[in-house]
Structure 1
């Protein structure tokens, strides 16, 4: 009975659990192939921190693809936003509490303009974003024309991409970051409480739920994974500010997409724009919001990347959009729109970053890395098409 229920649950929820299984397999595989170097605290910490700016982009790209559009401008917009915040901090000596909001608002304005062209004027999103890609590439070169790389000496700003949250001053356990452990334990507790609430809510509406043994197994496995990653990070320097920002963004957008009317409208537009319009949903406003959200997250991604490098470079943002799109598709977003989860795209970003990191540790050539990552992307889209056809 247990195994039949498990098989049924995996079959019905393969989109949700497939990437977790893939990530787990990648971690085990590279841990064996690299003699444990891949799973070392230092490498895992660097891996998670390095994927932050792509993870933020993947969150926004999820909503873009869900409503059946694409945004190719996000990479160079991130690079341009990073250059602008660098100029504000170095040339005009602005506080980060002024410079960062200015750049985020700039991203929102750009997104609203893109959304207007797509939603109101009717220009295809591919054309709008391709034009934006070229415009921001040129703008980035223009603002860095005089100095080239802009070095940022503001330590507070640089800590966003390189710093770690402080530990308790009154608790000192050698080699262990206690605050990270506490946050991990709280995260596990919140996850378990949330799962029980969702289960009880479904039972109240007579919806089908997994059997209690399967439900318990899921709680144990996910909690163990959260706990293990938390333990690894706590043995190095703890949670970085980049990870904290990614977790906040993920939590906010996960709540938005799952618990709000706006979130339901976004998925309704992605599922069938014509039917959504006939049901009273303002498709144009949804388009404005999603594109504005995407560009704001692009600006945030540029801030994270610039902070991590401690400088703004002329090549910043190159290829970011492709990594974000790949993370979204690998994370389970449907190419046909209307399907996809923010959390799935975060896992997708981790999968792609883990592949690159593991292959680098093994000394795999960059040419083979691109081939393998491209093959993974094709497999993810083929999987989406096959499962969608099977369900229909």
Structure 2
């Protein structure tokens, strides 16, 4: 009588962290692993190169404590918009109205707080409510009426810009009370002392580094558990140390300026929350499924209309948050506020690795893409580059990012 051996099962290594065995699970060539992650790793390298380039071109001014603080304050609202925009793009849509929504929500807040004398927090709540209503308006037409998001939000861009003019009566309103201004211009400092620097800012930076290290280590263990390819352990440690060094340098510079900006705390909370939403929740997985393959998502029982509706509600909410931050930063509301903000948010998402056809992208990637745009804009301003030339450079960077995405897709298709 003959016996048959059971099929061999993958064996995990007992030494180290299992990286050597895991590296070859799913791929026999480490080079393929590196190339496969180029979309994610490339933008981090690009950010470092751009920061170093402008540090040299501006004789270190771009890395001064005051300038780093200004970058956070000046571009925080674009980063907030990029969080919502990347989710919409992952779902296979686009939103061209966010700049107008920023203007409208800021205008509503200004009318209530400045003109009618309501408390500052009432203006913030009203702005958020208007943003949610705008998102629901867009979501209805896209999800339930079946009109393409490009058309719906293009109409919204015109509609809500017109409403902004009506709300403000074509005039600017200012100033906001000091409490409202602290949203985008306030700092937390002096809470635990420090000689010539703010120790609280350094503490928050250290907590951020520890949180990042724990998060990526858990992700690595999960990939090993499911026998997915991972980088070698020395390379992993090097990456964590480099990211930690960058975070602590950033915190050190802030600590020597004015301390920890309140708006940075708001942005960090949003990044953490939406990072978890996109990676760990049913809603996030459904957004990726819809953007990746709409037909398959529908056949799998995903409620496409409901997910699409809430995607745009969320975008409206984040546009309102950006509207509050921008009006607080500018200490008023203007009819032309938010002009072209949608293009900056879209550019941040695409530069950060989002795919033109949907289904691909991350919140962290959008943040890095937004930082690339912010560093370039700030660096060119410090160098005195003409505004027209700044637009040319931004346009070329966006074109290269999208071309890289298309190239990757064609290469993947030919590999099959």
When the two structures are superposed, what TM-score results if normalisation uses the length of structure 1?
0.96
CA contact (8 A) 2:88 2:95 kept: yes
User: Partner residue of 2:58?
Assistant: 34
Measure how far apart 1:8 and its partner are: 5.0
Q: Deviations over 1:12-43 (max 9, x none)?
A: 21111111111100111111111111111111
Q: Equivalent of 2:82, from 58, 68, 78? A: 58
Measure how far apart 1:318 and its partner are: 0.5
Map residues 52-91 of structure 1 onto 2, 5 A cutoff.
52-91=76-115
Which SS does the other structure have where 1:281 is aligned?
Answer: coil
Q: Deviations over 1:228-257 (max 9, x none)?
A: 111111111122111111111111100000
User: Partner residue of 1:166?
Assistant: 189
Measure how far apart 1:207 and its partner are: 2.1
Note closer, same or farther for the CA distance 1:8–1:218 as it changes in structure 2 (3 Å cut). farther
Corresponding pairs, count: 388
How large is the RMSD of aligned CA atoms in angstroms? 1.7
Q: Equivalent of 1:120, from 129, 136, 144? A: 144
**Partner Cα distance (2:340, 2:279) in 1:** 30
**Partner Cα distance (2:119, 2:186) in 1:** 18
Map residues 307-386 of structure 1 onto 2, 5 A cutoff.
307-386=328-407
Which SS does the other structure have where 1:122 is aligned?
Answer: coil
In terms of mean alpha carbon deviation, does 192-201 or 311-320 score higher?
A: 192-201
CA contact (8 A) 2:71 2:378 kept: yes
**Partner Cα distance (1:331, 1:205) in 2:** 27
**Partner Cα distance (2:193, 2:92) in 1:** 51
Larger radius of gyration: 2
Q: Equivalent of 1:219, from 240, 257, 275? A: 240
Extract unaligned runs of 5+ from structure 1: none
CA contact (8 A) 1:324 1:349 kept: yes
Q: Equivalent of 1:151, from 151, 164, 174? A: 174
Measure how far apart 1:193 and its partner are: 1.0
CA contact (8 A) 1:5 1:211 kept: no
Extract unaligned runs of 5+ from structure 2: 1-19
* Runs of at least 4 residues off by over 4 Å: 4-9
User: Partner residue of 2:326?
Assistant: 305
